[in-house]
A and B are shown apart, each in its own frame.
Chain A
Amino acid sequence: MSTIVVVDDDADILGLLEYKLTAAGHQVTAEADGEAGLAAIHEVKPDLVVLDWMMPRMTGIEVCLELRKDPELADVPVLFLTAKAQESDVQRGFAAGGNDYVVKPFSPRELSARIDALLARTR
């Protein structure tokens, strides 16, 4: 069982991922904005973070950059789940320290497989 923090301001996606990842046997903490997400990450110290990009208070990129500054959390894999689909956006996501990038609309099955792969790689 892994601990995952999901941060997304879209209630449907947040709810769906919470159900899906919980059903897959993970312990999930869901937050709806960047600031609350960062606080949850500091508190939970998760095995993986799923981050939306465009969120109130703090963007996913800002959260990821903050995360990478913290020596305790710098190695936590981050998966961006965002509607920003341009080549330059993907590049920015990886440059900010993202480990994977999934564009919305997305396939929850594919996302789940990517999460498993990321977790297996970091174990």
Chain B
Amino acid sequence: MSTAQVLVIVAITNMALIIGLAVATALVKVRRERKAKARTLELGMLRPILLSYLATWEEGNARDLGETLIKHRSRATSFEEVVAGLLPKLRGADRSVLVDILRRRGTVTKACADTKSWRTVRRYQAVELLGSAGVLEGTPFVAKLLDDSNADVRLAAVRALGRIGGLEAATALLEHLDRDDAKIPPHPVTMALLRIGTDGTEPLLIGLTADRVNVRTIAAEVLGVLGIFSAAPYLENRLSSDLHASVRVGAAHALGRLGMPSSIPVLQQSVAREQDVEVLTASCTALGRIADPSTIPTLQGALGHQSPTVRLAAALAMILMGNVGMTRLRLVAQQDALGGDAAREILARYTISVGAESALKA
């Protein structure tokens, strides 16, 4: 075979390859466009039926619409998309109606099964759907994904547990975080626990004595933000006995938020004995929040502390006591008493007008 013949064959082969590729690309494009068109058409059909059903489900004659939605088999999963888009916008009975449709269509069962899929996208979509629907039966499946190999799925699982809520979800989050091989960051867990709210009280109280410092700290902070008054004795115990300063800081902040006068002795003890500046600052702030004028002498003592942060916290706490605290602060500043220098410095730095005082209180 001559060189010319070889070159012709190579050229023909290349040409055939290029044409083949072009045809394949065009076919893929056409298929995608068809799929998108079918999806848009399906959405256009389903959306009005779903919205109309939601608007009229209380009337008996809407039952047919409901059955249509339950029996409809979608080709491009657009039905679940429409529902998932609506769920976060609604609450109350109408939301329950949507969740009921998902259950009866078998979507919830399928999502639970999909949490075990080898495909990351499928696991992610499943956990997102279970979270949006807020179905309690999804909790054990979602909780297992806290150990997922993919970080996005793990984070989605944390968010989903927060949205599903309940005792089991809070327990799963705190127990996972208390493990040495915990794969989830603390901040999203805190947000999820805050969303779960008072349903998580029991696991949060147990979390106060967990092995890991960040679990104890998160538990203390969340209990404070949620305003769980029954947690006060446990938080007082953490403030007076926990070996780790960040837990004591969390406990002091929480006690301040709870604002219970029964916590005053522990907080005063903390101000008198504590070595850690951050804990001391948090305890002064907490006393300011409780705003009991009987603690002014304790705060006055903290005005003489070597750390400017502590002095500032003590002064601000005294200001929060209202006129009594402010008068005492001015008096301390005028005299050469303990902390006089600090009071003068702080009053000079922070000229407090009546407006600013109320802003601070707010």
Binding site for B on A (CB under 8 A): 10, 12-13, 15-16, 18-20, 22-23, 104-110
- The answer to whether A108 touches B90 (Cβ under 8 A) is yes
User: Is B13 on the interface with A (CB-CB < 8 A)?
Assistant: no
Q: Which of B51-59, B190-198, B309-317 contacts A (4 or more CB under 8 A)?
A: B51-59
Residues of B within 8 A of A18 (CB): 51
Judge whether B91 and A15 touch: CB under 8 Å. Answer: no
From B52, B58, B85, B89, A19 is in contact (CB under 8 Å) with B52
Complex Cα gap A110–B92 (Å): 9
Report how far A108 CA is from B54 CA in the complex, Å.
9
Bound: A16/B89 CA distance, A: 11
Residues of A within 8 A of B58 (CB): 109
Q: Does B48 contact A (CB under 8 A)?
A: yes
Main secondary structure of the interface of B (DSSP, over half): helix
A7 vs B85: C-alpha distance when bound (angstroms): 19
Question: Given A12-B86, A15-B47, A15-B48, are A107 and B91 neighbors across the interface (CB < 8 Å)?
Answer: yes
9 contacts between A and B (CB under 8 A): A15-B47, A15-B51, A18-B51, A19-B56, A22-B55, A107-B90, A107-B91, A108-B54, A108-B94
Residue B6 interfacial (CB < 8 Å): no
User: In the complex, A104 Cα to B58 Cα: how many Å?
Assistant: 21
Contacts of A108 in B (CB 8 A): 54-55, 90, 92, 94
Q: How far is the CB of B80 from chain A (nearest CB, A)?
A: 14
The docked-state distance in angstroms from the alpha carbon of A16 to that of B87 is: 12
How many angstroms between the C-alpha atoms of A107 and B54 in the bound complex?
11
A23-B55 in contact (CB<8A): yes
Q: In the complex, what's the smallest C-beta–C-beta distance from B66 to chain A, in angstroms?
A: 14
A106 to B85, CA, bound (A): 14
Chain A residues within an 8 Å CB radius of B56? 19, 23
Q: Shortest CB–CB separation between residue B131 and chain A, in angstroms?
A: 14
Question: Mask for B121-158, Cβ within 8 A of A = 1, else 0?
Answer: 00000000000000000000000000000000000000
Q: Say yes or no: B90 contacts A106, CB within 8 Å.
A: yes
Report the nearest B residue to A14, measured CB to CB.
B51
A13 partner residues in chain B, CB cutoff 8 A: 89
Q: For B48, list chain A residues within 8 Å (CB).
A: 15, 19
